[in-house]
């Protein structure tokens, strides 16, 4: 109405199901149309009753996994107007052919019965899968609907692709001194055939022996060495002051740009020395940026660390900590919570001021006397730093969980290392990382794409823009331009696009230079908003309200609008009178009128002259 304001509008044809999912309320739209004296003729489309529909809302799985490592696939089932309280579902695995069709190879277990929730409620079901072969696998979750129980079978299945890769996790284990956690973890990783272990013991001297694939006596100085050789760095009470500024900058770049995973713990020897320093030391300032917590400055930190307490205090996990599967002792959250409750606890911690903005507290040290405010001290915290992850632990005492079971220590650190280094393990290229703000979106939401890119020499890319390609569910490919971010430094690029159809989108970014190491990819899934699905039936009452409020007629279906019912067709002038608009245009000549005007003027002049002549003659005769 705003766009056509001032122009003649005979009427508006509204093709809709009558359900308002956003924007103006119906009564407001009616008032606007009525004020402009514009009739709105609704044509109702869709069924008048809610159809029976069982659907797979989504299917979630990690994008990449390792062979013989169990992972979970979660499917979400929704039912509308269902006549039954349960449904059978089945998970199959196979491949996807060149036409995008699923080719089944095996079934992942027997079909299972799922109890449906209330009408429209989404129910989750989880499958544990252990892949035994390398390559891309497609998993399909499908509903086994009895005949007549589902009026729309087009949404009865969903597919998800998983890459099964084989790659060693390359770990740099460093420590200020040989603590128990250090020794236990060193032995564990050295025995693990899927880990390549390098050890840097800062207190060690040349000639010492350590179980490792390679023994270091200094932190890496070369960008290629650090960027290409390590996925995770585990640092037990490190003495960061031994690093040079160049080494600290490489560490920061490795986490932020190369998606490195960093695990840091405090200890009684070195942490208090560097953590309490005020700003001014360039090495410590860089290192503190990486931590997900803030530290007390020198003077206020006196007495805030407690190591070697006479009593163990348990760890209390936050809601977010309980939901993080990498902290589970076992394969389920409930069982893990019970096992952590059996754990007597730890005897020490280093107090920090608070978590940083954007960081998450996962666990606290539950000594009531140690609380500096309303909450106990932070014991575990994590944050994303650029493309990488950092995990903080307030002491090095996880060796104590061996008292519950010897395998818990190994399980804890195996999962933790995998968690922080997954950005490295699952990346496509050593030259960068391609990220999106979400992996699951609704139609119409904006996808924000970020890229951290380097050249072949691992220096930040300086090109003003790079081109990516977005493959849509309908087979089309659109170009996406990523421009260099004004903030964040060189090598940081960003762009965005808005998906308008449901399905899977694949983003590819090919870096200059070619080769297998130059292609970055990312997959996202887009689905319809719940409002479009929750009310699929036609709202006749709203459509009649629109017609009556604007002085029009409501047609149910296109046949009625075309005059195939008792009502006259909507296009007839009797139903929809024309509203022609006549506008006088200045400085334009109407040739027909001008000719007619001149003719009459000429006739008038001739008549006046004839009358004058006749008058003269008559008067002369008189």
For residue 117, what are its two tokens? 């929730």
Length of the chain (residues): 622
**301 C-beta neighbours (distance < 10 Å), count:** 19
pLDDT at 301: 47
Name the 3-class secondary structure at 463.
coil
Instruction: Name, of 284-293, 467-476, 527-536, the range with top average pLDDT.
Output: 284-293
pLDDT at 303: 55
Using CA atoms of 499, 501, 502, 505 in order, give the dihedral in degrees to the nearest 10: -50
- Residue 246: band (very low, low, confident or very high) from pLDDT cuts 50, 70, 90: very high
Label the pairing between strands 12-16 and 53-60. Answer: unpaired
408-444 b/e with 16+ CB inside 10 Å = b?
bbbbbbbbbbbbbbbbbbbbbbbbbbbbbeeeebeee
**Tokens 């500024």 identify what position?**
245
- What's the chain's average pLDDT? 86
**Tokens 């009502």 identify what position?**
567
In whole angstroms, give the CA distance from residue 424 to residue 412: 19
Average pLDDT for 407-427: 87
pLDDT at 361: 95
Per the DSSP assignment, residues forming a β-bridge with 361 are 381
Cα 178 from chain centroid (whole Å): 41
Q: Which of 63, 81, 151, 91 is nearest to 118 (CA)?
A: 81
pLDDT at 587: 63
In whole angstroms, give the CA distance from residue 450 to residue 436: 6
Residues 567-605 pLDDT 10s? 888 877 778 887 777 766 666 667 788 888 889 999 999
Query: Is there a contact between 521 and 428 (Cβ–Cβ < 8 Å)?
Result: yes
Give the whole-number percent of the chain exceeding pLDDT 70.
92
pLDDT at 305: 64
In whole angstroms, give the CA distance from residue 321 to residue 333: 10
Cα 229 from chain centroid (whole Å): 29
Give the whole-number percent of the chain exceeding pLDDT 90.
38
In whole angstroms, give the CA distance from residue 604 to residue 615: 16
Residues 134-172 pLDDT 10s? 888 999 999 998 776 777 788 889 999 898 887 788 999
Average pLDDT for 5-16: 82
- Residue 450: band (very low, low, confident or very high) from pLDDT cuts 50, 70, 90: confident
Residues 68-90 pLDDT 10s? 778 889 998 988 888 888 899 99
In whole angstroms, give the CA distance from residue 22 to residue 31: 17
Instruction: Name, of 46-50, 110-114, 194-198, the range with top average pLDDT.
Output: 194-198
Check pLDDT > 50 for residue 622.
no
Q: Which of 97, 78, 109 is nearest to 161 (CA)?
A: 97
In whole angstroms, give the CA distance from residue 208 to residue 205: 6
In whole angstroms, give the CA distance from residue 57 to residue 126: 14
Q: Which of 503, 498, 506, 504 is nearest to 528 (CA)?
A: 503
In whole angstroms, give the CA distance from residue 549 to residue 332: 57
Average pLDDT for 104-115: 89
pLDDT at 578: 78
Using CA atoms of 509, 511, 516, 522 in order, give the dihedral in degrees to the nearest 10: -20
Check pLDDT > 80 for residue 105.
yes
For residue 459, what are its two tokens? 């220096």
Check pLDDT > 90 for residue 11.
no
Residues 289-343 pLDDT 10s? 999 999 987 655 445 567 667 889 999 999 999 988 889 998 778 889 999 999 9
């Amino acid at each position: 109405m705003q766009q056509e304001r001032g122009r003649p509008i005979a009427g508006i044809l509204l093709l809709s199901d009558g359900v308002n999912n956003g924007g103006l309320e119906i009564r407001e739209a009616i008032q606007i149309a009525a004020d402009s004296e514009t009739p709105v003729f609704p044509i109702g489309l869709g069924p008048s009753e809610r159809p029976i529909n069982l659907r797979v809302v989504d299917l979630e799985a990690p994008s990449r996994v390792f062979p013989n490592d169990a992972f979970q696939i979660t499917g979400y089932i929704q039912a509308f107007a269902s006549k039954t309280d349960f449904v059978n579902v089945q998970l199959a695995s196979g491949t996807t052919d060149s036409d995008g069709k699923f080719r089944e190879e095996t079934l992942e277990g027997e079909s299972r019965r799922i109890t449906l929730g209330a009408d429209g409620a989404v129910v989750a079901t989880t499958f544990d899968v252990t892949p035994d072969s390398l390559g891309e696998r497609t998993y399909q979750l499908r509903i086994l609907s009895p005949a007549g129980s589902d009026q729309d079978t087009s949404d009865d299945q969903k597919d998800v692709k998983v890459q099964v890769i084989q790659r060693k996790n390359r770990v740099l284990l460093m420590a200020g001194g040989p603590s128990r956690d250090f020794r236990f973890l060193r032995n564990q990783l050295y025995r693990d055939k899927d880990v390549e272990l390098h050890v840097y013991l800062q207190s060690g001297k040349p000639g010492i022996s350590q179980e490792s694939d390679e023994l270091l006596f200094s932190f890496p100085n070369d960008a290629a060495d650090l960027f290409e050789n390590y996925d995770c760095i585990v640092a037990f009470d490190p003495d960061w002051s031994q690093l040079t500024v160049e080494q600290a900058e490489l560490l920061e770049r490795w986490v932020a740009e190369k998606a490195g995973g960093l695990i840091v713990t405090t200890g009684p020897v070195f942490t208090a020395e560097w953590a309490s320093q005020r700003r001014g030391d360039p090495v410590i300032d860089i290192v503190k940026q990486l931590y997900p917590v803030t530290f007390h400055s020198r003077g206020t930190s006196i007495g805030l660390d407690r190591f070697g307490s006479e009593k163990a205090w348990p760890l209390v996990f936050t809601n977010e900590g309980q939901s993080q599967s990498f902290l589970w002792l076992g394969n389920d959250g409930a069982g893990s919570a019970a096992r952590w409750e059996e754990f007597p606890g730890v005897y020490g911690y280093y107090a920090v001021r608070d978590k940083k903005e954007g960081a998450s507290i996962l666990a606290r040290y539950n000594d009531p006397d140690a609380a500096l405010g309303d909450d106990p001290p932070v014991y575990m915290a994590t944050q994303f730093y650029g493309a990488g992850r950092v995990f903080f632990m307030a002491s090095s005492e996880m060796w104590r969980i061996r008292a519950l079971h010897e395998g818990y220590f190994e399980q804890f650190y195996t999962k933790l290392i995998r968690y922080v280094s997954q950005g490295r393990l699952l990346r496509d290229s050593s030259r960068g990382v391609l990220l999106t703000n979400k992996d699951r979106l609704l139609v119409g939401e904006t996808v924000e794409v970020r890229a951290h890119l380097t050249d072949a020499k691992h220096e930040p890319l300086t090109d003003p823009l790079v081109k990516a390609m977005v493959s849509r569910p309908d087979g089309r490919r659109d170009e996406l331009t990523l421009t260099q971010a004004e903030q964040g430094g060189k090598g940081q690029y960003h762009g965005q696009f808005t998906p308008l159809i449901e399905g899977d989108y694949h983003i590819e970014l090919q870096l200059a230079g070619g080769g297998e190491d130059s292609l970055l990819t990312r997959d996202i899934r887009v689905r319809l908003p719940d409002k479009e699905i929750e009310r699929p039936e036609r709202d006749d009452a709203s459509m009649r309200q629109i017609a009556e409020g604007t002085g029009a007629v409501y047609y149910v279906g296109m046949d009625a609008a075309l005059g195939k019912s008792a009502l006259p067709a909507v296009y007839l002038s009797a139903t929809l009178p024309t509203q022609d608009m006549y506008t006088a245009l200045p400085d334009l000549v109407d040739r027909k009128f001008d000719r007619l005007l001149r003719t009459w003027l000429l006739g008038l002049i001739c008549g006046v002259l004839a009358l004058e002549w006749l008058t003269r003659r008559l008067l002369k005769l008189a």
